[in-house]
Amino acid sequence: MRRSPSTFEELMARLVNWAEAHPDIRAVVVVGSRARIDHPADMWADLDIILVTTDKDYYLSTADWMRSIGNPVLTFLEPTATGNEIERRVLFEGMLDVDFSIVPKEVVHKLIRAEISNESAREIADTLGRGMRVLIDKDNVAEQFRALTSYVKARASSQPTRREFLEVVNDFLYHAVFITKHLRRGELWWAGTCCNCYMQRLLLQMIEWHAQANHGWSYDTWFRGRFLEEWADPAVLEGLRETFARYDRQDLSRALLATLNMFRQVALETANRLGYEYPVDVDEQVSKWVRNCLLPSDESIPKSDADSCCDSETPTQQ
């Protein structure tokens, strides 16, 4: 067996030699921390590669091609962050982890014409716009990527409309009720994944808007919570300590109520900055119902409310 590369630089050199010999590979571009100046790669960083090809299916259906680059320990497929494309993740010997985004050449042209959703635009801005290291570019595709990023950045960092703001608020409050009902059924896994994952994504969106409303819409909030500890408000960071839960009914109840309070605080401040009206009456109605279902023994809550809040649900499991 051929000796596997021992460093990412050696692996990239092999990747270039391999790509140059394959006509279907049109561009190879490094993105992510190994192409960034701001927050560059450290010793734990992986290697993110955009592989532009005219034969996407081959690279997704087989792993044979990777052996020309190194000795793979394992590989698997997963959707990209926006779910629009599929990427192949590979762990080579020496624990060199590489993320290959396999992009058809025709998709690249759609990106260049900006035929993309806002979510895709945000991802592109966060990857290509932060740094690119072009290893191969047979059709001048990578240079067109560079021209795209300034447009995409402006499109991705804009003030939310009233409708967009309320969509996030209503989505969040709806799922507070959703989680509460599943907790009352005793479905801790279902409630926990929604509380710790889905609700936190909605909270993150509001935290991003909060930071940009306070600092300007060009303020850098990165993407998917990267380096949140550097750009979010200190009071927000302090509040986040209480918003994640263990696999435990009581702790999930505590975390859900803390997340409701955190979201309300951040959303109210954001709404004031934007000149939007926050649906206080809806929040109060939902929050009271959730509290009464989760904390029926709380002396501050009238017994009648606690008794009636979840009549259709099975009793709380002890």
What mean pLDDT is predicted for residues 82-86? 66
At 120-177, the pLDDT tens digits run 556 666 667 778 899 999 988 877 777 666 655 555 567 999 999 999 999 999 999 9
Give me Rg for the CA atoms of the chain: 24
What mean pLDDT is predicted for residues 6-26? 96
pLDDT for residue 164 = 95
pLDDT for residue 142 = 74
pTM: predicted TM-score of the whole model, two decimal places? 0.78
Residue with tokens 């099975």: 314
Q: Distance (Å, rounded) from C-alpha 211 to C-alpha 263?
A: 13
- pLDDT-derived band at 297 (thresholds 50, 70, 90) equals low
- Is-contact 58 111, C-beta < 8 A? no
Tokens of 287: 């929050």
At 49-64, the pLDDT tens digits run 999 999 999 999 999 9
Q: Distance (Å, rounded) from C-alpha 209 to C-alpha 216?
A: 10
Query: Considering Cα of 102, then 105, then 111, then 116, what sign does the dihedral take?
Result: negative
Q: Distance (Å, rounded) from C-alpha 262 to C-alpha 79?
A: 31
pLDDT for residue 261 = 97
pLDDT at 317 over 70: no
- Is-contact 15 28, C-beta < 8 A? yes
Query: Mind listing the domains of the chain with CATH numbers?
Result: 8-156 (3.30.460.10), 162-308 (1.20.120.330)
pLDDT for residue 316 = 35
CA 95 centroid distance within chain: 24
What mean pLDDT is predicted for residues 278-302? 81
Pick from 221, 209, 199: which is nearest to 165 by CA? Answer: 209
What mean pLDDT is predicted for residues 26-49? 91
- 284: how many CB neighbours lie within 10 A of its CB? 11
96-105, 130-139, 194-203 — which one is most confidently predicted on average?
A: 194-203
Backbone φ and ψ for 142, nearest 5 degrees, come out as -60, -35
What mean pLDDT is predicted for residues 277-288? 97
Which residues, 6+ apart, have CB-to-CB distance to 93 below 8 Å?
4, 70, 71, 72, 73
pLDDT for residue 27 = 93
Instruction: Collect contacts of 212-221 with beta carbons under 8 A, ≥24 apart.
Output: 212/157, 212/159, 213/159, 213/269, 213/270, 213/273, 213/274, 214/273, 217/157, 217/158, 217/159, 218/157
pLDDT for residue 124 = 64
What mean pLDDT is predicted for residues 202-230? 93
How large a percentage of the chain has pLDDT more than 90? 65
Written as one letter, the residue type at 63 is: A
